[in-house]
Chain A
Amino acid sequence: IAGITQAPTSQILAAGRRMTLRCTQDMRHNAMYWYRQDLGLGLRLIHYSNTAGTTGKGEVPDGYSVSRANTDDFPLTLASAVPSQTSVYFCASSEDRGSSPLHFGNGTRLTVT
């Protein structure tokens, strides 16, 4: 089934630990995005990539890094997790046309203790 797969589904992480959230899509979409969703704040863009080999900063990039080595994968890394990074993380992809909607993965619920 075509779509976006995120892993893990949920994770409890000790503060200071390193963590990589995985995201893979099989729709051959050029653009991919990482959002975090917090109650009352909605979806906030962390990083994005319009095509393999390029990345850009979103609204809240600090403390996060991404890479886009190929079209299908867009991992998000927390180098040293802090409790304020407790959130639900959504990966999304779209075709690189303005009218193309975002397709979302099912999210990763991350708790940093």
Chain B
Amino acid sequence: GQNIDQPTEMTATEGAIVQINCTYQTSGFNGLFWYQQHAGEAPTFLSYNVLDGLEEKGRFSSFLSRSKGYSYLLLKELQMKDSASYLCAVRSFNTGGFKTIFGAGTRLFVKA
């Protein structure tokens, strides 16, 4: 089966840096995604990692270590609008084709 773990909640200060961790177990690993979801809205895509290392995209970066089953999302220069849930998702490929499974999400509160 698949298992994805991430912290339930985090709080950080405006202008600071925050790291949201995600650990996973899966077979047929085919990539790891991070999504952002504001309250009452649909999730939106942030980043994708399939190879080990860091992917940087503006204020957001995502890291992957496949051997450790570990990823993190790094948010720099935090803004109030970054208050949202951040969802770690793992895509796998098996006999049934592609499937994407999500962790329970990390609610990030950014305070002034």
Contact = CB atoms under 8 A, between A and B. Distances in A.
A74 interface: no
A50 interface: yes
Interface string A15-45: 0000000000000000101010000111111
B105 A50 contact: no
A101 interface: yes
B8 to A, nearest CB: 8
Q: Of residues A43, A59, A103, which shows the largest number of chain B Cβ atoms within 10 Å of its Cβ?
A: A43
Q: Of residues B42, B43, B99, B101, which shows the largest number of chain A Cβ atoms within 10 Å of its Cβ?
A: B42
B7 interface: no
Interface string A42-61: 11110010100010101100
A98 B93 contact: yes
